[in-house]
């Protein structure tokens, strides 16, 4: 091993009961991008000017919530789950309207999703929009959304709460980049809000998700310290395999936060799903100004949903963002609990990627705090984070706090 080498492990996750395979890389310089890591980005793209930020009004009893499906069209596949999510929010005192049309091909699906987005944002009776689920196809909509100046003006004139995660990162980026709307990285109707649990049992992932969602969108108070769940579901709900199932997902005790690099910082939140963010970073019209940001990232499932994104994909996505200059002037980094990395050994593999890329060589001099294993993302439950809200990280006091409200 060369002097100053770093242990990095490559892990293959092969399904729920798969066998772990570890390959050790004992020298940091073996990374194919090691020369770039040492030198840093050679050029930085200019960031387009952003409209002034706007916030939606907080959600009140009796307000109407729209369900839309701008990526995966889950409504026809899991209608009972969508109905459970609607019933839960109705029982909380809100009205729910679902926007969904039957698709008849790729272009039909694109047209329907665009129409549903425009209809939901144009309806003055709707106060909030919650996406049903993520997916992989939201970028199909971006050319039309970016060009739709009339929609941009409509959104700015009547801002609405918008909640979603995973592939919905693209919707958040579009809304902030071209309208200034501050949105929320939070649960979807499927699987989180539609889980078959008792929402009154405060130890369930469902209760944690719903409580933190409403705390973020129905109150004008600053969110304050980000809470930590007692239990989490490491894998997806049974209804993904058996749509009629009402069995709640199996849960385990939540593992602690980990400070991979210590420090204290304040900055405005921005980020999303790691692999989606890496893709979106090439869409210049919606790329944010990353300077001074506390960047939050989390990892999706693998392609068939049976496990987590393999480490080489995680490593590549982080490296892509480094190459885009995302972390050159970042204030901090928060990484969510990674889906499919269930054991201490697996989580250490994931953490070693972050440490190898950010805590060695050139980026070590940046010295911003890095917090890992937070309730963000594809393992339920998840907290709801307001985009562009001022946040604070402090490893000495074990603090991750949001210092202002995302609504008015």
* Whole-model pTM over 0.85: yes
Q: Is there a contact between 149 and 126 (Cβ–Cβ < 8 Å)? A: no
* Same domain (yes/no): 179, 140: yes
Give per-10-residue mean pLDDT for the chain (408 aa): 39 38 35 45 57 98 99 96 97 98 96 98 99 98 99 98 99 99 98 86 91 98 98 94 93 98 98 98 97 98 90 98 98 98 97 98 94 97 99 99 98
Which pLDDT belongs to residue 202?
A: 82
Which pLDDT belongs to residue 222?
A: 98
User: Structural domain tally of the chain?
Assistant: 2
* Same domain (yes/no): 135, 197: yes
Which pLDDT belongs to residue 41?
A: 54
* Same domain (yes/no): 269, 310: yes
Q: Tell me, yes or no, whether 54 lies in a domain.
A: no
Judge residue 343's burial from the number of C-beta atoms within 10 Å of its C-beta, 0-12 exposed, 13-18 middle, 19 or more buried.
exposed
* Same domain (yes/no): 274, 352: yes
Residue 126 and residue 36: Cα distance in Å, rounded? Answer: 48
Which pLDDT belongs to residue 47?
A: 60
Residue 283 and residue 183: Cα distance in Å, rounded? Answer: 19
SS3 content of the chain, % helix, strand, coil (to 5): 35, 20, 45
Q: Is there a contact between 319 and 357 (Cβ–Cβ < 8 Å)? A: yes
Residues 6+ apart with CB under 8 A from 259: 369, 370, 371, 372, 395, 398
Q: Is there a contact between 41 and 323 (Cβ–Cβ < 8 Å)? A: yes
Which pLDDT belongs to residue 108?
A: 97
* Same domain (yes/no): 351, 305: yes
Q: Tell me, yes or no, whether 240 lies in a domain.
A: no
Range(s) of the domain holding residue 341 = 8-42+245-402
Number of Cβ within a 10 Å radius of residue 16? 12
Residue 31 and residue 8: Cα distance in Å, rounded? Answer: 10
């Amino acid at each position: 091993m060369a002097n100053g080498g770093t242990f990095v492990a490559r892990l293959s996750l092969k399904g729920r009961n798969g066998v772990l395979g570890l390959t050790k890389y004992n020298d940091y310089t073996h990374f194919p991008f090691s020369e770039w890591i040492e030198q840093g980005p050679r050029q930085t793209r200019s960031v387009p000017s952003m409209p002034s930020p706007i916030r939606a009004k907080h959600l009140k009893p009796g307000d109407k919530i729209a369900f839309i499906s701008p990526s995966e069209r889950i409504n026809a596949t899991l209608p009972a789950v969508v109905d459970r999510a609607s019933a839960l929010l109705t029982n909380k005192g809100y009205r729910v309207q679902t926007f969904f049309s039957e698709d008849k091909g790729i272009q039909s699906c694109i047209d329907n999703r665009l129409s549903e987005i425009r209809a939901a944002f144009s309806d003055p009776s709707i106060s909030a929009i919650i996406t049903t689920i993520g997916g992989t196809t939201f970028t199909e909509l971006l050319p039309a959304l970016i060009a739709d100046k009339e929609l941009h003006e409509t959104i700015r004139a009547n801002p609405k709460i918008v909640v979603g995660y995973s592939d919905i990162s693209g919707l958040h980026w579009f809304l902030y980049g071209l309208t200034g709307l501050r949105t929320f990285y939070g649960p979807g109707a499927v699987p989180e809000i539609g889980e078959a649990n008792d929402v009154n049992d405060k130890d369930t992932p469902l209760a944690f998700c719903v409580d933190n969602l409403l705390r973020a969108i129905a109150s004008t108070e600053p969110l304050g310290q980000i809470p930590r769940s007692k239990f989490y579901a490491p894998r997806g709900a049974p209804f993904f395999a058996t749509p009629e199932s009402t069995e709640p997902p199996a849960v385990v005790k939540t593992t602690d936060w980990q400070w991979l690099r210590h420090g204290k910082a304040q900055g405005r939140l921005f980020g999303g799903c790691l692999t989606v963010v890496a893709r979106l970073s090439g869409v210049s019209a919606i790329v944010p100004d990353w300077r001074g940001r506390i960047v939050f990232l989390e990892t999706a499932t693998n392609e068939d949903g049976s496990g987590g994104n393999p480490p080489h994909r995680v490593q590549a996505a982080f490296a892509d963002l480094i190459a885009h200059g995302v972390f050159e002037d970042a204030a901090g980094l928060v990484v969510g609990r990674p889906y499919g990395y269930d054991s201490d050994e697996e989580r250490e593999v994931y953490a070693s990627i972050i440490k190898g890329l950010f805590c060695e060589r050139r980026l070590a001099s940046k010295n911003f705090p890095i917090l890992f294993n937070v309730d963000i993302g594809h393992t339920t439950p998840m907290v709801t984070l307001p985009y562009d809200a001022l946040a604070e990280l402090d490893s000495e006091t074990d603090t991750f706090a949001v210092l202002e409200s995302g609504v008015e």
